[in-house]
Amino acid sequence: MFDHHPLRHPLNDKLRLYYDNIYQGFDVSQRKNGPLIENYLERAFLTLNTICNLQREVFVFRIDLRFPDAMQRSSMHDNKDVLAAFFRYFRYEIRKANTKHQTPVRYLWAREQDTSDKPHYHVMMFVNKAAFDNLGYFAPDEYGCTRWITSITE
């Protein structure tokens, strides 16, 4: 897939490059413009194994977090403080739900910035399936933004 196979990332020699389409027996998707970072694959695999060993059943869902297109670029786009605030709020909402079963909030995330002037985040959330087994219903609001609704008739 790649003509040249350097072992380390050219901008950070602590990052090992990974070129195979299989990692620890699982398919991984290689991008055409470069290899994966083995350090990140290793950490994700360890996180997934830990979660599966700690909980009998896990509900997993993906969230893509994006800044509005109309938002001007600022210093907040250069660090992960916004993501930390999202996780604090998400944990607050989980506690507020007051489910019968407790659920620790675990996650994997990746920051990506390709052609936009602002980054976006891909997040994989893991919660106790005994506490949460679906996300509810979603519908566009009056501004066209998707939002969660508590019932189909709302």
pTM for this entry: 0.73
DSSP 80: S
| 81-108 tens-digit pLDDT | 889 999 999 888 888 887 788 788 899 9
The token pair at 26 is: 């699982």
Q: Cα–Cα–Cα angle for 120, 121, 123, nearest 5°? A: 160
Domain ranges for the chain, please list them. 1-54, 58-154
Name the band, by pLDDT with cuts 50, 70 and 90, for residue 135. confident
The total of other beta-carbon atoms located within 10 Å of residue 61's CB is 12
CA–CA distance, 4 with 73 (Å, rounded to integer): 36
- Kindly report the average pLDDT of the chain as a whole number: 82
- Identify the residue with better confidence: 77 or 40: 40
pLDDT level of residue 33 (50, 70, 90 thresholds): low
* Mean pLDDT value of segment 6-12: 82
Q: What are the two backbone dihedrals, phi and then psi, of residue 37, each rounded to the nearest 5 degrees?
A: -100, 115
Higher pLDDT, 148 or 2: 148
